[in-house]
């Protein structure tokens, strides 16, 4: 009997993992062919991708960029590839892209909407990237709405200035009255003073200043607005104005004041219960009936009002969700520090509640921006309305896909960047330990 | 804000309305109420003045007048001699049809996509992400118009089905014809029919209910009731003896046999669409407008539902799955008994609001000419009669009622599955 036991005295060198487990092969094995069902799924998806791409890629890239009409496009296609199917006629975009973007806005004034858009980004910078941009820029953000209105519609500068002065008058009344009497009287006084300024004095002020110092640029009528510019204009206004209104409505809905609460609940539930298109019908047909006889104001302004109310109701529900998600201790903590209602909201409740509701707020933004296309149904020429108008032209009669693809791409870029920004913001504001 | 200590008793002064938190809330409410009532009164008086100036007092008599327009997609019989009210009612049914169809399809597609987005197959997960992002970031109106264009432009015309050298053919054993004028599917016919019940006589909301349909539903309900009894018996036996009797074939028999007997008695057969002349006849005709709206709304909403389902499944902690495995449950049962009941609680409330959104978005039917309530009451009726105020307000009322009913039903269901907290 010989002793066959063997004890290795030195460590074996480390071996490389099997080739089928690492690198590209390993990845494919784990992620694409891990079981027979997964393998089938992979093969089916590969075929689907091939099928879609083999149809779309030639359509996009083997295409005609320069032609005057659809028929000419088809002739060129027949000449080059022998068939008119499966090739895009981008010539229509080449021909009409300015119209799709700006509607019937006078072409020598295109710089104004472009400047307004650039300034919008500047005005948004201190809000969106508050850590990298000096806070003093916020002053420009406050001026921007009035500047934008002036740039877009043109006319005398004193109109927007007078509108802005209304806020200054209100603020003045508030500081004066709240120091002398009480905060509540201050708020009411501010509202009354501002409304009196806008309804009564503003007209005289504008007229007087215009005759003394006529500063103005060429006026553009609302019916010349259109295209993607209109979507951005409506979207920006509805988004910008609905956030503060939504916060107020959400606070009202959470409030202990019974009458205020039920007014807010009624408003929110009513707006959320009806489709936007009925509200746009109200804007185009009924709003003039609700105002004093003889009032006739601009259709775009009316649409803006209704879209703002619509998105404010949704915003209120999103923010209410954020308020409800805050632990009760935060409210009690604010009370125990002796903060009054507005101080507590401003310093403790809102910063947290808004942070929680960022995803919801941004998806409401995206929703309202997409919903601006509905104005084509009440006869405004937004991108979809313009696409129909272009198709009605004899030169481009019968063209569909190119226009739809272009419009879809425009919306996709804007909405997708908004949703990515919201993810960035969520990560930035994430203060929890995860 | 409430005061935390009892203030000393003092006499009421007028300034306390402003400075004392006990009275201030009442002051604010009274001011708000007065402001609101003033606003309402202002709007109403303006409206009355304006309507007087236009010579259009508010009245609803026009609803009894003949509508004199046609509705090409309808569930009930309707002619252009019927009243505006009848037209609105047909439109309402059309809205409900597309909403119900859309909700069902959107749920099926949405759940599938949501689960596949979590698949460990990299390729499938990416494809589903692309689908979701593509549909969520493009307006639904564009999808509806696009679906309509695809149906009209890319499908064969009915005449392509004709002759020896037909370029198109019917699908599913010659029962379904997909053409650019719509889809023709077989209709259910009963040769020994029981007839109809005529509800509401000859009024505008008259409604025919097929007795055959009622009979089928009763038998189906009875079968399901019996199946549940059998399952309960099996469960009781399992409790008592530990062995679960095999019951699936009993249940299958209970489901199928009575239904087959009933259908034979009623003489059930399918009415196939046939090509006659330049068009199809027979069968049920679903117009392009309906299909386009249905497809676009369901695919659009499905993208949102997919995200909800994904979030719901991700919200259940991995410990639950592991605990279920530790108990010895198989993966299917883990999903059915452990994961899904918990995920549903997270999923249902946002799902409700998506169903509501789909129903409200169905009002975009007007863009493709589908005659729903917006197309009839808010479209042609309004334009013909010039009664904007009445029509738009009624339209809002109808949608408000639909929305509130859906959310009431769904909230009732939500309360049933909600976690009961101690």
> Is beta strand B207-210 parallel, antiparallel or unpaired with respect to B196-199?
antiparallel
Residue B389 to residue A293, Cβ atoms within 8 A? no
The answer to whether B18 and B27 have CB atoms below 8 angstroms apart is yes
Q: Scanning the structure block, which residue is given the tokens 């006739």? A: A296
Which chain B residue shows the shortest CA-CA distance from A36?
B121
Cα–Cα–Cα angle for A76, A78, A80, nearest 5°?
A: 65
pLDDT number for residue B401: 93
- Give dist(CA A284, CA A296) in Å, integer: 11
- Higher-pLDDT residue of A273, B9: A273
Domain segments of chain A: what residues?
A: 33-92, 107-429
In the structure, what pLDDT confidence band is assigned to residue B101 with cuts at 50, 70 and 90? very high
The average pLDDT across A343-356 equals: 88
The average pLDDT across B223-245 equals: 89
Task: Please provide the CATH number assigned to the domain covering B84-186+272-417.
Answer: 1.10.3720.10
Is it the case that residue A434 has pLDDT exceeding 50? no
pLDDT number for residue A189: 85
**Rounded (to 5) percent helix, strand, coil in chain B:** 65, 10, 25
Q: Which A positions 82-141 lie with beta carbon below 8 A of chain B? A: none
Report pLDDT digits (tens) over A181-195.
Answer: 777 778 888 888 888
Fold of A107-429: MetI-like fold (1.10.3720)
Residue B317 contacts A, CB cutoff 8 Å:
no
The pTM is what? 0.87
**Closest to A217 in 3D by CA, of A302, A263, A152, A167:** A152
Residue A289 to residue B33, Cβ atoms within 8 A? no
Residue A275 to residue B127, Cβ atoms within 8 A? no
Cα–Cα–Cα angle for B5, B7, B11, nearest 5°?
A: 160
pLDDT number for residue B164: 66
pLDDT number for residue B5: 63
Considering Cα of A262, then A263, then A269, then A274, what sign does the dihedral take? positive
Q: Scanning the structure block, which residue is given the tokens 């505006």? A: B84
Report pLDDT digits (tens) over B326-385.
Answer: 999 887 788 888 888 888 888 888 888 899 999 999 999 988 888 889 988 888 888 888
The average pLDDT across B191-198 equals: 76
Residue A415 to residue B378, Cβ atoms within 8 A? no
Q: Which B positions 224-253 lie with beta carbon below 8 A of chain A? A: none
Report pLDDT digits (tens) over A154-167.
Answer: 888 888 888 888 88
Report pLDDT digits (tens) over B134-179.
Answer: 999 999 999 999 999 888 888 888 777 776 666 677 776 777 888 8
Domain segments of chain B: what residues?
A: 84-186+272-417
The answer to whether A209 and A201 have CB atoms below 8 angstroms apart is no
Which runs of E-coded beta strand occur in B200-314? 207-210, 268-271, 274-276, 279-281, 284-286
Residue A281 to residue B18, Cβ atoms within 8 A? no
The average pLDDT across A252-265 equals: 88
Is it the case that residue A289 has pLDDT exceeding 50? yes
The answer to whether A94 and A381 have CB atoms below 8 angstroms apart is no
pLDDT number for residue B6: 61
> Is beta strand B279-281 parallel, antiparallel or unpaired with respect to B274-276?
antiparallel
ipTM higher than the 0.90 cut: no
Helical (H) or strand (E) element with A240: helix A227-254
Q: Scanning the structure block, which residue is given the tokens 């008994």? A: B337
């Amino acid at each position: 009997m010989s002793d066959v036991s063997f004890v290795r005295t030195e460590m074996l060198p480390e071996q490389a993992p099997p080739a089928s487990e690492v690198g590209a092969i390993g990845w494919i094995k784990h992620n694409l062919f891990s079981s027979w069902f997964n393998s089938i799924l992979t093969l089916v998806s590969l075929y689907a991708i091939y099928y879609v791409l083999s149809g779309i890629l030639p359509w996009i890239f083997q295409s005609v960029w320069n032609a005057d009409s659809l028929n000419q496009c088809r002739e060129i296609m027949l000449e080059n590839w022998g068939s008119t199917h499966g090739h895009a006629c981008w010539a229509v975009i080449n021909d009409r892209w300015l119209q799709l973007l700006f509607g019937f806005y006078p072409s020598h004034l295109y710089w104004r909407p472009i400047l307004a858009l650039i300034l919008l980004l500047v005005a948004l910078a201190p809000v969106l990237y508050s850590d990298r941009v000096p806070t003093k820029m916020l002053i420009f953000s406050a001026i921007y709405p009035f500047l934008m209105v002036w740039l877009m519609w043109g006319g005398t500068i004193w109109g927007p200035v007078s509108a802005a002065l209304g806020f200054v008058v209100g603020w003045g009344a508030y500081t004066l009255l709240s120091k002398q009497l009480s905060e509540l009287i201050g708020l009411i006084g501010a509202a009354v003073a501002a409304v009196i300024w806008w309804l009564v004095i503003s007209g005289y002020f504008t007229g007087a200043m215009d005759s003394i110092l006529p500063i103005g640029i060429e006026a553009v009528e609302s019916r010349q607005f259109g295209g993607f510019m209109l979507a951005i204009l409506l979207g920006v206004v509805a988004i910008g104005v609905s956030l503060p209104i939504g916060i107020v409505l959400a606070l009202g809905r959470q409030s202990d004041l019974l009458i205020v609460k039920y007014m807010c609940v009624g408003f929110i539930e009513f707006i959320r219960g009806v489709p936007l298109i009925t509200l746009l019908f109200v804007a185009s047909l009924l709003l003039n009936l609700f105002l004093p006889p003889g009032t006739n104001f601009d259709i775009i302004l009316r649409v803006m009002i209704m879209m703002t109310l619509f998105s404010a109701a949704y915003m209120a529900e999103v923010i209410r969700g954020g308020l409800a998600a805050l632990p009760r201790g935060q409210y009690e903590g604010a009370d125990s520090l002796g903060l009054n209602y507005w101080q507590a909201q401003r310093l403790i409740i809102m910063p947290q509640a808004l942070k929680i509701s960022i995803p919801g707020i941004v998806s409401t933004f995206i929703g309202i921006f997409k919903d601006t296309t509905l104005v084509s149904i009440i006869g405004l020429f937004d991108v979809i309305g313009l696409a129909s108008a272009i198709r009605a032209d004899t030169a481009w009669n019968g063209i569909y896909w190119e226009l739809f693809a272009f419009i879809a791409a425009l919306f996709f870029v804007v909405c997708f960047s908004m949703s990515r920004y919201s993810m960035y913001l969520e990560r930035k504001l994430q203060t929890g330990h995860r | 804000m409430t005061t935390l200590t009892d203030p000393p008793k003092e006499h009421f002064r007028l300034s306390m309305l402003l400075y004392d938190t006990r009275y201030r809330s009442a002051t604010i409410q009274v001011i708000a109420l007065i402001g609101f009532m003033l606003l309402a009164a202002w709007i109403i008086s303006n409206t009355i003045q304006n309507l007087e100036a236009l010579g259009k007092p508010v009245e609803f008599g026009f609803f009894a007048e003949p509508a004199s327009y046609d509705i090409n997609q309808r569930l009930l019989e309707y002619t252009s001699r019927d009243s505006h009210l009848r037209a609105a009612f047909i439109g309402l049914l059309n809205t409900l049809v597309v909403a119900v169809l859309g909700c069902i399809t959107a749920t099926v597609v949405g759940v599938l996509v949501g689960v596949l987005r979590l698949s460990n197959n990299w390729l499938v997960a990416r494809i589903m992400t692309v689908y979701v992002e593509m549909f969520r970031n493009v307006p639904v109106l564009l999808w509806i118009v696009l679906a309509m264009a695809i149906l009209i432009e890319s499908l064969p015309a009915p005449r392509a089905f004709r002759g020896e050298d037909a370029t198109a053919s019917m699908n599913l054993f010659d029962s379904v014809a997909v053409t650019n004028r719509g889809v023709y599917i077989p209709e259910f016919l009963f040769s020994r029919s029981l007839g109809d019940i005529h509800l509401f006589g000859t009024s505008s909301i008259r409604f025919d209910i097929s007795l055959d349909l009622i009979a089928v539903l009763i038998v189906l309900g009875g079968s399901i009731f019996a199946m549940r009894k059998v399952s309960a018996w099996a469960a009781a036996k399992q409790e008592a003896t530990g062995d679960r009797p095999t019951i699936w074939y009993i249940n299958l028999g209970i489901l199928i046999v009575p239904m087959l007997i009933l259908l034979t008695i009623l003489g059930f057969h399918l009415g196939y669409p046939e090509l006659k002349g330049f068009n199809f006849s027979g069968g049920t005709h679903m117009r392009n407008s309906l299909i386009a709206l249905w497809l676009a709304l369901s695919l659009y909403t499905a993208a949102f539902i997919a995200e909800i389902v994904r979030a719901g499944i991700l919200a259940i902690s991995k410990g639950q799955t592991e605990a279920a495995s530790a108990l010895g449950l198989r993966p299917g049962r883990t999903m059915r008994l452990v994961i899904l009941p918990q995920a549903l609680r997270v999923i249902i409330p946002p799902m409700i609001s998506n169903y509501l959104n789909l129903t409200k978005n169905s009002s975009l039917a007007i863009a493709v000419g589908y005659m729903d309530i917006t197309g009839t009451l808010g479209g042609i009726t309004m334009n013909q009669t010039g009664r904007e105020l009445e029509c738009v307000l009624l339209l809002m009322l109808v949608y408000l009622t639909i929305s509130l009913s859906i959310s009431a039903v769904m909230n009732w269901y939500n309360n049933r599955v909600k976690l009961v907290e101690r």
